[in-house]
Structure 1
């Protein structure tokens, strides 16, 4: 009798195969939006569930919902995604529906996914670093306690096409520490839109469809490479 593998084990196996080609995609052009090759979906891959915690960039504000980078990443790997992102929200900042990321954590716990993507956000720019550290650490610890087997993936904060304030990398490092402290992994994007207004909307913040695809491609490659090492 063949032993049944867990959804996360199947996910890792699928992404390892993707990483063999995905890690070299767009190597010659940092602003290329060439997509990471998509594995052929199988019935086992469809059983992998994922959830996203994030802000307006993570829900694709200003572009069609199907072009938001978390959904694009999910499609690359055959995941079923629940995106709980909310405009203006952060670990310390209330979103348009008055929720902070800890509220999104509660929503994620209810669906019990195999993978959780957590996007650090510029919306926490006005929070003291100590306050952000406390909020991010508490939210990530609660997430891990409720989902001990989930793969948690953190993604660095984005600013836009204008010059990036010094607090933005501090936000990313603070959230990164919280993610790594619960055994998660980290995707460092840097600021791919700085000086590239063609990749963001007129507000200089939210990515265009091309910008969203660029994020999805970079994030997919890092995730695949990280899981290949596991």
Structure 2
């Protein structure tokens, strides 16, 4: 057995144990032992009724949880102008926006935690889908530390919510010049982690990069109109990946 397959097998065993125990505790990625070339975890299986069993009358109604930073939180705007709330208004699907200004996979935000610290709140919402977006708040971190933190968080999220669909979104960069290496690194870290647990990663591009008229005075956070642009870009990218909400 190759080293890659051996490490993937260990990862599958670890995730299976986590899900069977119902434990949402985080596990260091170094113990998970995954790398971008490793065989990903399969998507959460759909159990078909066996002979003599009655199939469920219907699938669970969709419920979405979003986890991200101040852009997703709608920093500087009135309540309800963030794109997750706009998504709920447009579709009628309940959306719980857990975005925390200043937070990332490593950075603690105004809520007092990083993204991993939001998992308990995500569990309480009983989501059928969790949308998680990497953040430029983790700039200045090493690739290894960012990879480890993203993997640890996403593995814990999968263990806590084994039946939910996990969707990762690429990191936003709203300045008119090329994104720094940290933006690319944070996107790759989340993509690797989401792929590893059988989730879906979606690259939404940079819909606000050349739209400075859609940014607030700080040139960092979108206006209400900018949030609408984000919503359209994200729903279009999700649809392109076969995810319709």
TM-score band w.r.t. shorter chain: 0.7 to 0.9
Question: Structure 1-normalised TM-score?
Answer: 0.77
The RMSD of aligned alpha carbons is 1.9
Deviation digits for residues 188-207 of structure 1 (CA, Å, limit 9, x no counterpart):
12222223211111111101
Matched, 1:111 2:125: yes
Q: In the alignment, which residue of structure 2 is the partner of 1:216?
A: 231
When residues 228 and 208 of structure 1 are mapped into structure 2, their CA distance, relative to the original with a 3 A threshold, is closer
Q: In the alignment, which residue of structure 1 is the partner of 2:140?
A: 126
Q: 1:219: how far off?
A: 1.1
When residues 138 and 3 of structure 1 are mapped into structure 2, their CA distance, relative to the original with a 3 A threshold, is closer
Deviation digits for residues 140-196 of structure 1 (CA, Å, limit 9, x no counterpart):
111111111111111111122342222211211111111111111122122222232
- Pairing of 1:89-108 with structure 2 (within 5 A): 89-108=103-122
Q: Which has the higher contact order (CA 8 A, sep 6+)?
A: 1
Is the Cα–Cα contact under 8 Å of residues 202 and 241 in structure 2 kept in the other structure?
no
Question: Structure 2-normalised TM-score?
Answer: 0.72
Q: 1:117: how far off?
A: 0.8
The number of aligned residues is: 190
Structure 1 residue runs without a partner (length 5+): 8-46
- Pairing of 1:1-230 with structure 2 (within 5 A): 4-7=57-60, 47-163=61-177, 164-227=179-242
SS in 2 for 1:224: helix
Deviation digits for residues 78-115 of structure 1 (CA, Å, limit 9, x no counterpart):
21111111110000001023210001122112322111
When residues 150 and 2 of structure 1 are mapped into structure 2, their CA distance, relative to the original with a 3 A threshold, is closer
- 144-153 or 159-168: which moved more? 159-168
Q: Which has the larger radius of gyration?
A: 2
Is the Cα–Cα contact under 8 Å of residues 161 and 200 in structure 1 kept in the other structure?
no
1: CA distance, partners of 2:216 / 2:190: 26
Q: 1:3: how far off?
A: 5.1
- 204-213 or 76-85: which moved more? 76-85
